[in-house]
Amino acid sequence: MSVFEFKLPDIGEGVVEGELVSWLVDEGEAVQEDTPLFEVLTDKVSAVIPSPKQGKVTKRFFEEGDIVPVGGVVLTIAVSGGDGAAAPAPAPVESAPAAPAQAASAPAAAAPVAPVVAAITPPVAPSGKRVRATPATRKLARTLGVDITAIEGTGEHGRVTKEDVQRWAHGVAKTKPAAPSAPLGAAAEDEVRKLKGMRRKISETMRMSKDTAAHFTYVDEVDFTAIVELKNALRTAGLKATFLPFVMKAVCSVLKREEFEYLNAHVDYAKGEIVVKRSYHLGIAAATDAGLMVPVVFNVDRKNMRSLVDELNALGEGARTNKLSLGQLSGSTFTITSLGKLGGMFATPIINPPETAILGLHKIEKRPVVIDGEIVIRDRMYMSCSFDHRLIDGHVGAAFVQAVKDLLESPALLLAELS
């Protein structure tokens, strides 16, 4: 009988650590080769890690929600005979994408629960100073124009956290806050849960977006009566389309106009660069049980209505079952988010960085309006669009929404744009 030390494998280029989201085995449990051991979430991917050995789990060294360094011992397995020395772990057998990964901010580090974890030598900065920080934290520092080597980390073992970068960027004294003895306001009958997994990733992404982009939102009401009639005609012809493909086509058509090219762009203020995209890849925000995902429909301008309907259905099913690949969740140039039947009047969508704008769709309902001096009933919807005011001027954002509105209210114009 020997003991095998299972170390967190390298599961992605540039990934130096991951969050242990959930344990799939208990101490004392027998495992076979390829038995799923635990789920880990990194800045780029969520993966279920399998066992490389047959034996019995003797000890787990991390709790759910802890940050595990690549190469750190996650658990030990008692195996019969053979060499118990640690060996390279296999690639994960199952992977699913994390929340919008291309701009997710890194979580603060948590301490391992046992001292046997192998230490990782942090990358060396150009100045020669070694800095412990996740790739997403480094990206936030670049975005805010902060020299990460000048920051004194307040995380475990001197790690530079997202909060350290933000405090430095705003000139706030960098002192490690004292940990409260109990959660604020928690009573004896309350249930305290750890913020972890995709929900923590979403939290970090939204916070980074609000910290780095100067949001402003423009709202207008759109008459969808003509689109409703066209959609019903297509449904009669056998194409069960929602309203979304029409909006996608209208948005794509307007983004192609020179005056709106900065709305289909990625921006890096730390480098002082704007990448104007000449491809039109629309992220479609989708609510799932695990949280918000943003699958991407690539080259929307080159696809017909039937292709868009089929692809949206496939992406929606993949998001609900957590079976989308990383490639399907990154690379968007503009994002559309919809609350559907729960859409209310309007909201303030949060930009999906490094993009510069996001369009929010709300509930379509029949409302009385005055047309040519008469009160008539029309299908109407509020449409709200948020922009990064550092790059998009107010009149440009308003003009964009108006242009999309014009195409949706007159489908003949939309068809002319697409021909």
Q: What confidence tens digit (pLDDT) does each residue in 58-71 have? A: 999 998 888 888 88
pTM greater than 0.85 (yes/no) = no
* Residue 258 identity (one-letter amino acid): E
Does the structure show a pLDDT above 90 at 250? yes
Mean pLDDT of 359-379: 93
* Residue 196 identity (one-letter amino acid): K
- The dihedral sign for the CA sequence 138, 140, 142, 145: negative
Q: What percent of the chain has pLDDT over 70?
A: 76
Per residue, the 3-state secondary structure of the chain, as one string, reads: CEEEEEECCCCCCCCCEEEEEEECCCCCCEECCCCEEEEEECCCEEEEEECCCCEEEEEECCCCCCEEECCCEEEEEEECCCCCCCCCCCCCCEEEECCCHHHCCCCCCCCCCCCCCCCCCCCECCCCCECCCCHHHHHHHHHHCCCHHHCCCCCHHHCCCHHHHHHHHCCCCCCCCCCCCCCCCCCCCCCCCCCCHHHHHHHHHHHHHHHHCCEEEEEEEEECHHHHHHHHHHHHCCCCCCCHHHHHHHHHHHHCCHHHHHHCEEEECCCCEEEECCCCCEEEEEEECCEEECCEECCHHHCCHHHHHHHHHHHHHHHHCCCCCHHHHCCCCEEEEECHHHCCCCCCCCCCCCCCEEEEECCCEEEEEEECCEEEEEEEEEEEEEEECCCCCHHHHHHHHHHHHHHHHCHHHHHHHHC
Does the structure show a pLDDT above 50 at 108? no
Split at pLDDT 50, 70, 90, the class of 114 is very low
Q: Which residues, including other chains, have CB under 8 Å from residue 296's CB and lie 6 or more apart? A: 281, 282, 283, 284, 328, 329, 330, 331, 332
Does the structure show a pLDDT above 70 at 89? no
Look at 44-48, 308-312, 323-327 and tell me which has the smallest mean pLDDT: 44-48
Active site residues: 389
Does the structure show a pLDDT above 60 at 207? yes
Q: What percent of the chain has pLDDT over 90?
A: 38
Closest CA to 106 of 183, 44, 175: 44
Does the structure show a pLDDT above 50 at 8? yes
Q: What confidence tens digit (pLDDT) does each residue in 384-394 have?
A: 999 999 889 99
- pLDDT on residue 15: 67
Domain boundaries, the chain: 2-98, 214-418
Mean pLDDT of 335-340: 86
Does the structure show a pLDDT above 50 at 106? no
- pLDDT on residue 301: 93
Does the structure show a pLDDT above 60 at 100? no
CATH class name, domain 2-98: mainly beta
- pLDDT on residue 225: 94
The span from the CA of 204 to the CA of 243, in Å, is: 31
The span from the CA of 125 to the CA of 352, in Å, is: 29
Look at 62-76, 97-111, 271-285 and tell me which has the smallest mean pLDDT: 97-111
Split at pLDDT 50, 70, 90, the class of 43 is low
CATH fold group of domain 214-418: Chloramphenicol Acetyltransferase (3.30.559)
Does the structure show a pLDDT above 50 at 101? no
∠ CA 293-294-296, nearest 5°, is 145
Better-scored residue on pLDDT, 157 or 194: 194
- pLDDT on residue 121: 35
Q: What confidence tens digit (pLDDT) does each residue in 396-413 have?
A: 999 999 999 999 999 888
